[in-house]
Amino acid sequence: MPGDSAITLRSLQVDQKSWTVRLRVLRPGSEIACGTNLLSRIRKMIMVDEEGTRIGVVIFKDEIQQFNHIFENHKSYAISNGQVQRSNQDYFNAHPLMELVLKKYTTVKEIGETINVDSTIVYNFMKFPDIDSTIHNRKAIDVCGIVIKVKDKKKTHTARGATKYVREITLMDNECHSVIVSLWEDMATNEGGELQEIAAENPVISLAQVTARKYQGELQLQTTMASIMQIYPTNDEVQHLQAWLAQINDPLKIQALAMKERIKKANKVTLHEIIHNRFLLSEDEYYFFKATVNKVENKSYIWYDSCTKCNSAISKNGDTMACRKCNIEPSYRLLLNVTQENERALITIFEEAAMLYVGCPVNEYLMSVEKEENDSKYFRGLSLQTGMEFQFLIALNKKATIVNGQLNVVAEAIEKIQLENQKPAKHVDKIVQRKKLNTLQDEDEILMGTSKAKNSNTTTKRRQTKKNINCDENVYISSDDDETIQQLFKKIKKKSDSTYGSKDVQFIQVKKEKS
DNA sequence: CCCCCCCC
């Protein structure tokens, strides 16, 4: 077939026998198990022609090998002959009427000059607040956004018993509305994998033909067999978004803005309402409350030191900490002891919430405390935030428990409450100071690993230490205090080193002794 | 000949 006889998808007819089309790969797809008992295998690509018309290209089990090493993402091909079949209207399709099935007799030739897609792919972007999950779970939509989070791909079992891969990413728009997008199957692997590699730079993407649904009262998007993703596409909306992003130019700030907006959308409650009237609240909603942080319970061990994938110990790997097998970084897990009025909660924070609390990514933190904890401004910052107020966003699901009148819950987002006057009033100052004293006292107990350490000598010493602590926001613990604290840390470090791999156990023991 | 899904 000579190349000049190629036609556009617009003039291709269902059931046409002899044809040549010139198409570029938009979604490479991968071989996946499907059908009854997962016995069938299929690879489905999405391709586009010079005019921007998209079409699904199906390769069934027996032909997968034949085309395996031919198609590559972003490359263009002249494809001749195959089955042009009517698409099933029950499902989402890249082309409204038809799809191509590649057969044994189909011929494929790569085109040297690839087909340009910069101006031909037309999107009809919806703003996140305008998306209606009741309408748009049947009607696919287009969105664009800044990628602010890329989670690992994971295997999951559907209600029908199929095993599928899914990867969650989070998109944010220029009004700080964020939405989780589940990338399924080949998109979790291919596009999702690509995004994961560049996640640190917060890439901007466009997505076409995704669907919406609600989970715990929040909007979520899902890819379909017809969805496509473009990373850094050239259309105006996305470039506008990128310019807005460049102004912020701070990954931590971006996370903070997204969390703040999520909190704004949630239902406000008091700790009292949750603890005493939980039955009045919904399990499928997000709530937020304001509380004062009294201390970080696991101050010296605010990260998991085993790989989330293979469970082996994470160790220093060049300039970073990572699992040598999986190259997975450690992750934060902070336990915050908080109060509101007379009510107590133990709040667990991970990921971006923890990063905001600590002030840097986990690897930076681990490097900063490698030699000596008190050399780290982030470590010292953990103590300096005691007595401060935060908003906490929580889901009141089954994992949230109330034990002995205390709420135990994971907060997905936090927001530091900015005081109008940086310097607290005098009487407040005293209260805060007292709180700090108590905190230090508690900390001593943890550090010593026993409450027996409370002899008169150490108590006096503690008092003296406390006098030096100023409660002004900008004040640092004086060097003398640091020395005292450092020594205590050394003691507990020695202790924890001897009980290798049981850091959490030690923490629990300490807690037990306290009660 | 294929598909709407999962929840630290």
Question: What is the rounded average pLDDT of the residues A311-336?
Answer: 77
pLDDT at position A418 is 80
pLDDT at position A170 is 98
Note the CA–C1' distance, A18 to B2, in angstroms: 24
Domain contains A476 = yes
**Per-residue pLDDT tens digits for A288-305:** 999 999 999 999 999 887
pLDDT band, residue A8 (cuts 50/70/90) = very high
Question: What is the rounded average pLDDT of the residues A435-448?
Answer: 37
Whether CB of A228 is under 7 Å from strand B: the answer is no
Residue A474 φ/ψ, nearest 5 degrees? -90, 5
Both A28 and A169 in a single domain?
no
For residue A315, pLDDT beyond 80: no
Nucleotides of strand B lying closer than 7 angstroms to a protein CB: 1-8
| Per-chain mean pLDDT for chain A | 82
Whether CB of A35 is under 7 Å from strand B: the answer is yes
Which nucleotide C1' is nearest A185 CA? B5
Domain contains A118 = no
Both A264 and A410 in a single domain?
yes
**Per-residue pLDDT tens digits for A51-89:** 999 999 999 999 999 999 999 999 999 999 999 999 999
Which DSSP string corresponds to A211-246?
EEEEETTEEEEEEEEEEEEEES--SHHHHHHHHHHH
Note the CA–C1' distance, A486 to B5, in angstroms: 52
Give the domain-ending residue among A84, A110, A136: A110
Question: What is the rounded average pLDDT of the residues A378-404?
Answer: 94
Both A408 and A260 in a single domain?
yes
Give the domain-ending residue among A83, A110, A137: A110
Both A355 and A502 in a single domain?
no
C-alpha A391/C-alpha A264 separation (Å) is: 10
Query: Domain count of chain A?
Result: 4
Which range of A1-10, A342-351, A422-431, A435-444 scores highest in mean pLDDT? It is A342-351
pLDDT at position A309 is 67
Note the CA–C1' distance, A154 to B6, in angstroms: 9
Lowest mean pLDDT among A85-94, A101-110, A214-223, A319-328: A319-328
For residue A497, pLDDT beyond 70: no
A259 and A278 in contact (C-beta within 8 Å)? Answer: no
Residues of chain A with pLDDT > 90, as a percent, come to 69
Residues of chain A with pLDDT > 70, as a percent, come to 78
Give the domain-ending residue among A56, A76, A110: A110
A387 and A283 in contact (C-beta within 8 Å)? Answer: no
State which residues form the domain around A88. Answer: 9-110
pLDDT band, residue A507 (cuts 50/70/90) = very low
Both A135 and A242 in a single domain?
yes
- Give me the amino acid identity at A367: M
C-alpha A387/C-alpha A440 separation (Å) is: 12
pLDDT band, residue A39 (cuts 50/70/90) = confident
For residue A275, pLDDT beyond 70: yes
For residue A357, pLDDT beyond 70: yes
Tokens 């939405």 — which residue? A179
Which nucleotide C1' is nearest A162 CA? B5
A25, β-bridge pairs = A47
C-alpha A469/C-alpha A140 separation (Å) is: 58
**Per-residue pLDDT tens digits for A119-150:** 999 999 999 999 999 999 999 999 999 999 99
pLDDT at position A313 is 73
Which nucleotide C1' is nearest A167 CA? B6
Both A294 and A309 in a single domain?
yes
A287 and A268 in contact (C-beta within 8 Å)? Answer: yes
Question: What is the rounded average pLDDT of the residues A269-273?
Answer: 97
Residues 103-132 of A with CB under 7 A from strand B: 103
